[in-house]
Amino acid sequence: MTMTERDEPLTPAGRLFVQPGMDQVINCAISVDDPIDVDAVKTEISNSVLVKHPRFSSIMVKDSCGRERWRKTEVNVDDHFIIRPEPLNDDPSVSDEDAVNDYLADLCVSTPLSLTKPLWEFHLLLAHKCAVLRLHHALGDGISLMSMFLSCCRRADDPTQRPTTHGIGTSSTSSNNRNVWSLLKKLSKVIWYTLVYVIEFCLRGLWLKDKRTAVSGGDGVELWPRKVATAKFNIDDMKTVKQAIANATINDVLFGIISCGLSRYLDLRSPKALKEGTQITGVAMVNLRKQSGLQDFSQLMNSKSGARWGNKFGMLLLPVYYHKGGSDPLQYVRRAKAMIDKKKLSLEGPCSYKIGDFIMSFSVKLARLVNYRIVSNTTFTISNVIGPQEDITFGGNHISSVRVTSTALSHAITMHMVSYAGKADMQILVAKDIIPDPKVLAKCFQDALLEMKEAAQEVGKN
C-alpha cells in the first residue's frame, strides 16, 4: 500500500474551506487572569488529546488528481507556537482588548496557516495575557472545535473535572399528541417552506442579491483591510427578553438584536432613509447532528454515536429587516421569531448540505463559485456557538473570556458569538473602508438588548 493510498481525503465541506475566496481560518482569542507560563502551556498541549487527534496530527497534501488529503505526520509542538512578549501597541491608552482585536483583524486578511505542518497554531501575546488559537475550518466546525478545546480545560471550581457539556444548548420537543389534521397541516408547511427556501438558496447562487446599503460587501471585499470590535451581552438579559415572548429562544433574541442594531446603525450611516422593511440577509450555519448543543469529545470521536467529528452543518439564509425605531423594541424579536420558526419547519439546512455535497462531487470549482456568489449576494455572516456555563481554567490559569472570529469573506460584516459563564461576546469583523466605526455598530447591538430588556421587564410587571 502506498503512502497516497493511506492518506485520508478531506470531506466535501473541508475541501470547500481551502478554496480561494472561501479559505477559512478560525481565530480564537482566549484571555486569562494571570501571566502566561509558556512552558506550562506547551506541556499542557503536548499532553492533551489535541496532538493525538488524527486531524491535528496531519498535514494537508494534494494527490496526483489535485484532490486535498490528510497525511499523518509527527507533531513538533514548538513549531506551533508563536511567542509575542512585547505589547502589540506602543500607546498605553489602548486597552488589551483593542490591541488584541487589532491583531486579530490583521490575521484575518494577511496571515494564512503554513501547509508544511498541521493546520493549527498558538500565538501567545504575553503582554496582554492572551492566547490566540488559530485553527483551519477544514479541521472541523464550531461544535467539533469547541468540544476539542473544552477537553483540554478544567472546571475552575473542581480542577479534577472537565467542563460540563451534556445537555447544554439542547432543546426540548413537545410530546403532545396531535391529530391527523394537524400533522398533515404541519407536513404541508414543511414541504412549502422547504420549496420556497431551497429555490431562494439556489437563486442566491445565481443572481438574486440584497439591495445595496451602507453595510453591503461584495465581490473582492474579502481582500480589504479589516477592523474588529466586541459587543458584550449578559445571558440573563437575553433570557429576560426571551421570557417576555411566548416560546422564544436565545437565537430569536439574537436575531432581534441584530435586526434592531443594524437598523439603528443604518439610520446613522445612510444619508437617505432606507425603505421600511428593506431585507438584509445573513448567512448562518446550522448543526445537522442528531443531538443539538455542546457535544462530549468522546462522542464526536465515536463513529457509531451519530454525532461525528468534522464539518456537519447546513447553510441557512436568515433575513432581517430594516425598521425605523418604534415604541416597542420587542417587535424586532417577534419578527425574528416568526422568521426563524418558518426556517425550523423547513429542510433548508439538510437540503443545502446535500446540494453542496452533490456539486462538490461534480466540480469543486463550481461549488466554490456558487458558495462565493451566495456570500457576495447577501450582507452578513452570523454564527452562535454555545460555550461552557461554568468558569474554566487552562493549564491552571483562569480563563476570563473567549472570543472568536474568522478569515474575512466577501461580506463587510462577519459576526461570531460565543457564550461563556453567563456572558456572551460577539466579535464583529468589518471591512473598515465600508464600516469605519465597528465600535459604534457594537454599541448599537448592546443598546438594542438593554432597551429590549427594559421593555420585557415592563411586560413582566403588567
DSSP states of 443-454: HHHHHHHHHHHH
**In this structure, what are the phi and psi dihedrals at residue 395, rounded to the nearest 5 degrees?**
60, 30
Identify whether 398 is a catalytic site residue.
no
Q: 352: helix, coil or strand?
A: helix
pLDDT tens for the chain, 462 residues: list them: 444 457 888 888 888 888 887 888 999 999 999 999 999 899 989 988 888 888 899 999 988 887 889 999 999 999 999 999 999 988 888 899 999 999 999 999 878 899 999 999 999 999 999 999 999 998 888 888 888 888 888 899 888 888 876 555 655 555 455 688 888 888 999 999 999 999 999 999 888 999 999 999 999 999 999 999 999 999 999 999 999 999 999 999 999 999 999 999 999 988 777 888 899 999 998 888 766 555 555 555 555 544 566 677 888 999 999 988 777 899 999 999 999 999 999 999 999 988 888 888 888 889 889 999 999 999 999 999 888 888 999 888 999 999 999 998 999 999 999 999 999 999 999 999 999 999 999 999 999 999 999 999 988 777
Q: Which grid coordinates belong to 161?
A: 473535572
Under the phi-then-psi rule, with left for phi > 0, alpha for psi from -120 to 50, and beta for the rest, what region is 430? beta
Select from 229, 3, 2 the least CA-distant residue to 102: 229
Write down the residue that cell numbers 498541549 correspond to. 45
Residue in 53, 80, 137, 411 annotated catalytic? 137
CA separation, residue 151 to residues 43, 54, 222, 381, 421 (Å): 15, 15, 33, 28, 17
Structure confidence at residue 165 (pLDDT): 67
Helices (H) and strands (E) in the chain, counts: 13, 16
Tell me the chain's radius of gyration from C-alpha atoms: 22
